[in-house]
Amino acid sequence: MRLVSSIDEMQSLSRDLCKQGKAIGLVPTMGYLHEGHLSLIDLIKQKCDFTILSIFVNPAQFGIGEDLEKYPRDLNRDLELCREREVDLVFAPQDSEMYPSEYSTFVQEEDVGSGLCGVSRPTHFRGVTTVCAKLFNLCNPDFVALGQKDAQQVVVLKRMIRDLHFPIEVLVGPIVREPDGLAMSSRNQYLDLKRDAALVLYESMLAGRKIVEEKGVRNAERVKAEVMSVLTKNSVIRVNYVEIVDRSTMRPEREVQPGHSLIVVAAWLNEVRLIDNLAL
């Protein structure tokens, strides 16, 4: 396995791989890898000749007062996990190369990312699309693997790839959960003794899905009310949003469309912001 931090070296290597006709797969991450990330490696290796995993804590997707400085980092641990999964190359660039002084160019998707997380984090998706556009240009992937946990981010990036004509196929891996149902996230380490309280997000969505599947409820407001009734029983939870959306557009729905609708939830547990989603 090769570790590359230089932008010039990464771009040169990817060009050589393209000339050799190699199918390149990219798993973009911010590091502190968990089984969710590792499952994306397994997914993309089925399609590719050469697998790249990027590790970059992207400052452009953090807002003022967010957790950029304390975001968990452990490069040596991540590299060992990548070796075990037989990743071919880890790309871990420096902030100063990705965003040099006087950097002023950004990529922004203006539809999918405007609602839900885009309301409370107005610059977040601009940071995501910008860094991914840069990674795509540097790594030249034929395939990119994204996790369903970040459902809105997946749709935003699909839209950017479509609109900007990147010749990339998106593979979406399912949410990987802990045995108790908590969706795996690098930020879960912040939870400590609050972990049991965090489980209410998954429990609330299961309650919403139950009335759809067992009682035939299709009215989105009724499903949202059921989810909210479970979420708000826990006094330490502050709800950011609960919505029923079309999973391909992330637009709110009035009626549940089985196979197409998604419950999406965001909430604060003290200072930790959690997101999750569940298919209906």
Whether residue 53 contacts residue 87, with contact meaning beta carbons closer than 8 Å, is answered with: yes
Chain centre to alpha carbon of residue 220: 25
How far apart are alpha carbons 158 and 38 in whole angstroms? 21
Q: How many C-alpha atoms does 202 have within 13 Å on its Cβ side?
A: 16
Give the amino acid at 257. Answer: Q
37 is an active site residue:
yes
Task: Kindly list the strands in the beta sheet with 169-173, ordered across the sheet, starting from the edge strand earlier in the chain.
Answer: 2-4, 89-91, 50-55, 24-29, 143-147, 169-173
How far apart are alpha carbons 172 and 149 in whole angstroms? 10
Q: Which of 131, 209, 160, 173 is nearest to 44 (CA)?
A: 173
The b/e string for 16-32 (b: 16+ C-beta within 10 A; e otherwise) is ebeeeebbbbbbbbbbb
Q: Which of 156, 172, 163 is nearest to 251 (CA)?
A: 156
Give me the count of residues in the chain. 280
Q: Which of 34, 37, 165, 260 is catalytic?
A: 37
Q: How many helices (H) and strands (E) does the chain have?
A: 10, 9
Q: Supply the residues annotated as catalytic.
A: 37
